[in-house]
Amino acid sequence: MGNFTRRALLGSVGVVALGGLAYGGSRVACRFVPRNHPDFFSLLDMVPDEPAVRRLGRSALAADGLARDLPSLAAALTDRPLIRQAIAEDCPTTRKTLVQDQCALDFADDRTVVVDGWVLSETEASLCAARMLSAQPV
């Protein structure tokens, strides 16, 4: 086992080269496959589907300053730069961080809504409202 022959070396190099060629070829071929681009509704996965969230969403819809339907909520939220970045992001942790940062910006810019005695950012309130609306049967 101490001898490493030229045949074994060339065979190993050939296997590695074929593996690299196959990997590179699959990367090139995958560029032509259409991708599922996330949209606004992919953000709703971060909002739990619980009774408390639905209650907050219902109350947020009754508050002034928020849109009252899903398309309007989606349009209002996607106008915000960090939400646009979160929608385009694949990593769930990064998406969550971007949404949290947008909520912090809402508080800094005094874009808040009082819902059932809670002071929420407009982003939080809109996401709760959207979650409540998306859970309703059409």
Cα separation, 85 vs 3, in Å, equals 56
Cα separation, 96 vs 102, in Å, equals 10
Q: Where are the domains of the chain?
A: 1-33, 40-135
Cα separation, 28 vs 15, in Å, equals 20
Give the DSSP per-residue string, 1-30: -----HHHHHHHHHHHHHHHHHHHHHHHHH
Q: Read off the pTM.
A: 0.67
For residue 110, the model assigns a pLDDT of: 93
For residue 92, the model assigns a pLDDT of: 82
For residue 137, the model assigns a pLDDT of: 61
| Token code pair at residue 29 | 């071929």
Which residues of the chain are under the pLDDT cut of 70? 1-2, 29-41, 137-138
